[in-house]
Every structure is written in structure tokens, then in C-alpha cells.
Amino acid sequence: MSLSNEPRVRRRRLGVMVAAAGLVATLLTAGPAAATPDPGDNPKPDKDVSSSTTAEVKKQIADGEIPPPNEIVHSDNIEHLTNIPKDALGGTNSDLAFQGKYAFAGNYDGFRVFDISNPKAPKTVAQVLCPGSQNDISVSGNLLFLSTDSSRSDDSCASTTQPATEKASWEGMKVFDISDKANPKYVAAVESACGSHTHSLVPERKNVYIYVSSYSPNATFPDCQPPHDGISVIKVPRKAPEKAAVVNFPVLFPGEGPDGGGNPGAPTNPGVSKTTGCHDITVLPSKDLAAGACMGDGILMDIEDPENPKVIDQVQDNVNFAFWHSATFNQKANKVVFTDELGGGGAATCNEAIGPNRGADGIYDITGKGDDRKLVFRSYFKIDRHQADTENCVAHNGSLIPVKGKDLMVQAWYQGGVSVWDFTDSTKPKEIAYFERGPISADTMVGGGSWSAYYYNGYIYSNDMAKGFDVLKINDRRTDPAKRVRLNELNVQTQPDYFD
């Protein structure tokens, strides 16, 4: 059966070129790949589960509580328009960015460019082989930015894995010229401390600033020394990207001693990640604000001076949040949704045993003014569609759906699928639509599901780690006004002011 066919609806029960010779991007065409993806960047292998877990999953499927493996189910107000399977880039799909009629899809092996002028039939314009986890991606004007968070032999797209204990190893940011979408050109590379797990853009007319998030330093890593309690700030001149360079490393969690001033983690706070940097930062340039999800801490920052961001407030949740993963402002910038990636995205946490408050979203109101603004916790949101114990599922990347007077969001939950939810009332969030597939396997924990799910110009686009690129359409009176909002560019971690 073609993956692009509309499945039946099934109700669920709820329970400039750089002089270095290495900077060459390898374009993949419909023929054989010109290079071999590096297996050193692949995620952890599949894991066997107990016989009792397998039996329970099969019973849940038989009872209709869980969809059969790979079967698509969705709410009545969601249409599945199409799926584009992974092609030459066989690695794990990651983040998404948008510009005009194009979508840019990150992948552990590189990135793919889609023409989405017809959302029902996206066309592949280019595939670029450039291995290096996790290839978090964003675009601004004629530039595309790619994060490399694995230790490499050099900064080229032909590099291989190399231990971080070797001083000559490289990881950081790569910059491509995408003035010709069919032929991206690799034009610059900037090494950053501890690499670049994710990044966020603060775009200006002449320059693009990049906030590089990375973490997990080690005394044996020459270029990733503890405590690493900050972020790298890179300045990229638009007309001379080859001059891109780190211009600052602001310490966000100052403190005495080798561990700095972030969350100490265990044993002080059992089950909570020790803060050794940030995982992701979302900026709201129109309000000179940023929200940082920093492992054991959530922070609010003033970015009026983009080279020198300063922390306004810092919060922790040592009861229910294990790993502060990402952040989303509402349109009025008086709320932030933080996500908790309990289990690192590789565990089954959307079940009754884990419960509704862990591996969830935390909704915080922003109170006060100026440097006296505070983050005040209001509630948690988690999908209540229980997933199988062979499905990795946890709160992950999402975006606003722009409707005036409402706070609506679409969000990825790995194998929990795609959820559309309303947090207009910070204390009473609720799901209003969903799309998901049944478990990849009923016998084995196989990593997969939606990494990112974003709303762009009337449609929802999801990058499924294993299944490929999905296009969804929501038809609902609560979200319909968003169809009139049009953007020329969207990097979700650089939130636009939709109604300014």
C-alpha cells in the first residue's frame, strides 16, 4: 500500500568558499550516493523488550487500545495529505526550516530540500550528504546553518567520526549558500566548544547571530571543558559568511567551583539532569526575549544586545522535569511552554506508569516587567493517548499555530505522533487534534516517530525520524484563521511576530 494514500480514520481509546580543501558539499541525485554515510552518527540500536512487555503490547493492540504496527490513526479534523519516505539520506530525520515554497529537512546524514508549492505532492530539489549528528537546521536569506554535535575528523562533509579526546577533532557550525536551492554550496565552518547540538538565529540586516547550544563537557575533551555553563555566540556577516566567528561565550549559570551555578542534578536532585550548558534556545526578536531550555534549568533572557544575552529569571522543577529540552513563547510573550525530554527521546514514557506530569510540557506565565519579569508555573500538558511500551514517546519540538486571541500549538511526540493543543488558559490545556502511527514494532523498542511538527502557511509539516516527511492539514474552526497568515521564512526557534 502506498504511504501517500489517505488511511481510514480510526478512533482510539484513551487510556564564500573557505580556503580549506575539505569544505565541499556532496549533492545526492536520484542515482547511487556518491559517499557512504558514517554509521558513527547513527542513534543507539534497537532494544529488545521482555516477553511480558511484548504480550501486553499485543493485548493492547487486540483490544483496540493501541493501533496495529504502523497503522495511521488521526482525529476527524486532521487530514494526512502525503508522506515522502527517506531516500538517499538514510539517517535519522531531525529538524525543519522553511523559506518561501521550500522546506529544509535535517537528517543525521545531511539535509534535504523540498519544493512544497504543492503541499500534497512535495518534490525533492536537493539532497546534501554531510554527516554529523544531529544536523539541526535553519535558514536566513541565502544562508543555511547546520549544527554538528559529533566529534569529526575534520570540518568537511567527507569527515568521519574521531574521538573528542583528540585536539584535532572538530565539531560546531556549518554554513551553506542556498541562493540556488538545487545546488547548496558549503561556504564556512566555525568550531564551537562542545560542538553544536542545536542553534538559534538572531537575524539582523547585515549579520546573523547564532546562539549555539551544547552540553556534556568532559575534562578529557580538549575543546569541551567543564563547567561549560554558557553558549557560544557566532557572528555571520551576510555578505562575507567566510568571516563567521565566535564573538562571545556568555556564562548563563555563574557559580564557584568546577560545576558552575546551574542545577547540580543527582544526588542533590535525583532524576534531574545536571546543567552543563543548554539544549535549546528560542528567541523572540520582536520582544528582545529568549527562553532557554538548559538541561536542569529553564531561563528567560534579555537579548537586546544579541552579542551579550543576559539572564532575567531562572527556574527549576526538581519533581517532574528531568531534562529541559525546548521552549515556545505564545504570541503575546506572556507565556512560555517548556518541554521535558524524559528518557532522552529513546524511552517509552507516554504510558500509565509514567503518568501525566513527567515527560510533559510545562506551561509558565511571564509576570512583571523589564528585568523583574518572572517565570511562574501554571500547569502541565501531556497527550493522554497512552502509547505502547515499545514506542519512544515524549514531549518534543513544536510551533505556534497563529490565531489572534488564542494560544494554539502543534507538537511532535516521537511515536506519540503529532498533537494540536490549546493553552489559552494556562491552567487548563487541552488537545484538539492528533495524528499518529501504531508502534513500529510490537516486539522491540525501535526509535522513530515525529521529531519536529510545525505549522507553516496553512499546513503542518512533520519530519518523522524513520518514516520520512509528512504533510498534514487541519480543518477546525479554532485553527482556521491561521490559514490567512503567510510567512516568507520560518525557523521555529526564531519565533516571528505573526501579527505585527
Q: Is residue 9 part of a domain?
A: no
Q: Which 3 state secondary structure label does DSSP give 209?
A: strand
**How many residues make up the chain in this entry?**
500
> How far is the C-alpha of 134 from the C-alpha of 148, rounded, in Å?
6
Strand partners, 284: 289
Closest CA relative to residue 396, chosen from 65, 71, 62, 134: 134
Cell of 145: 546553518
Q: Residue 325 is part of a domain; what is its CATH number? A: 2.130.10.10
Ramachandran angles phi, psi of 61, nearest 5°? -65, -45
> How far is the C-alpha of 450 from the C-alpha of 409, rounded, in Å?
15
Task: Give the amino acid at 92.
Answer: T
Cβ 131 vs Cβ 92: under 8 Å: no
Cβ 96 vs Cβ 104: under 8 Å: yes
Cell of 348: 517509552
Q: Is residue 495 part of a domain?
A: no
Q: Is residue 497 part of a domain?
A: no
The secondary element (H helix, E strand) that includes residue 110 is strand 110-115
Exposed, middle or buried by CB within 10 Å (0-12, 13-18, 19+), for 487? middle
Number of domains in the chain: 1
- The domain of 285 spans 26-490
**89-118 residues labelled b (16+ CB within 10 A) or e (exposed):** bebbbbbbbbbebbbbbbbbbbbbbbbbee
Q: Which 3 state secondary structure label does DSSP give 58?
A: helix
> How far is the C-alpha of 416 from the C-alpha of 58, rounded, in Å?
17
Cβ contacts of 141 within 8 Å, gap of 6 or more: 203, 208, 238
Cell of 391: 514506542
For residue 41, the model assigns a pLDDT of 55
Ramachandran angles phi, psi of 183, nearest 5°? -140, 70
Q: What is the pLDDT along the chain (500 residues), one digit of tens a residue?
A: 333 333 334 444 333 333 343 456 777 643 333 344 444 455 666 888 899 999 999 999 999 999 999 999 999 999 999 999 999 999 999 999 999 999 999 999 999 999 999 999 999 999 999 999 999 999 999 999 999 999 999 999 999 999 999 999 999 999 999 999 999 999 999 999 999 999 999 999 999 999 999 999 999 999 999 999 999 999 999 999 999 999 999 999 998 767 788 999 999 999 999 999 999 999 999 999 999 999 999 999 999 999 999 999 999 999 999 999 999 999 999 999 999 999 999 999 999 999 999 999 999 999 999 999 999 999 999 999 999 999 999 999 999 999 999 999 999 999 999 999 999 999 999 999 999 999 999 999 999 999 999 999 999 999 999 999 999 999 999 999 999 999 999 999 999 999 87
For residue 8, the model assigns a pLDDT of 37
For residue 307, the model assigns a pLDDT of 97
Q: Is residue 12 part of a domain?
A: no
For residue 43, the model assigns a pLDDT of 61
> How far is the C-alpha of 313 from the C-alpha of 63, rounded, in Å?
48
DSSP state of 254: -
Exposed, middle or buried by CB within 10 Å (0-12, 13-18, 19+), for 401? buried
Q: Is residue 16 part of a domain?
A: no
Task: Give the amino acid at 488.
Answer: N
Cell of 200: 538559534
- Could you count the other beta carbons within 10 Å of the beta carbon of residue 44? 9
Instruction: Give 423-431's long-range contacts (Cβ < 8 A, gap of 24+).
Output: 423/330, 423/335, 423/337, 423/363, 423/381, 426/335, 426/363, 426/364, 426/365, 426/378, 426/379, 427/378, 427/379, 428/379, 429/361, 429/363, 429/379, 429/381, 431/383, 431/384
For residue 24, the model assigns a pLDDT of 60
Strand partners, 459: 456
For residue 260, the model assigns a pLDDT of 80
Closest CA relative to residue 398, chosen from 328, 465, 468: 328
Q: Which DSSP string do the residues of 263-326 spell out, in sequence order?
A: ---TTTSTTS---SS-SEEEEEGGGTEEEEEEBTEEEEEE-SSTTS-EEEEEE--TTT-S-EEE
> How far is the C-alpha of 465 from the C-alpha of 470, rounded, in Å?
11
Cβ 189 vs Cβ 132: under 8 Å: no
With cell 497512552, the residue in question is: 386
Residue 117 vs residues 151, 369, 419, 457: alpha-carbon distances, Å = 37, 42, 24, 11
